[in-house]
Amino acid sequence: MKNDVVLACCDKELIGRNLKEGNYDVTIEESFYRGELVDEHQLKKMIRDANSINLFGNKAIMVAKKQGLISDSDIIRIEGVEHAVILKV
């Protein structure tokens, strides 16, 4: 859609890490998550305004959980790092 807003966000300390567990083998690529550093308040607004949200990292996930957008059952964990995708329809 014309007004779709996509947000990809990860905790900054995860950039460049490779996480492997079970069937998951994920590299947190800077080229995908590149952008500006934001605080929790800014991230809340960005999440509120986005239609498609990709979050990686326990801090980023916590912001979405505080907003009631996801719960523990919506989250996967790879090497203890939380990941979720939120699609608003």
Percent of the chain's residues with pLDDT above 70: 98
Q: Is 79 exposed, middle or buried (0-12, 13-18, 19+ CB in 10 A)?
A: exposed
Q: Where along the chain do its domains lie? A: 6-87
Residue with tokens 């014309």: 2
Give 22-50 pLDDT, tens digit per residue: 999 999 999 998 889 999 999 999 999 99
Give 54-65 pLDDT, tens digit per residue: 999 999 999 999
Q: What angle do CA 61, 66, 69 make, to 5 degrees?
A: 70
For residues 77 and 62, what is the distance between their CA atoms, to the nearest angstrom? Answer: 13
For residues 27 and 88, what is the distance between their CA atoms, to the nearest angstrom? Answer: 25
Q: Which CATH architecture has domain 6-87?
A: 2-Layer Sandwich (3.30)
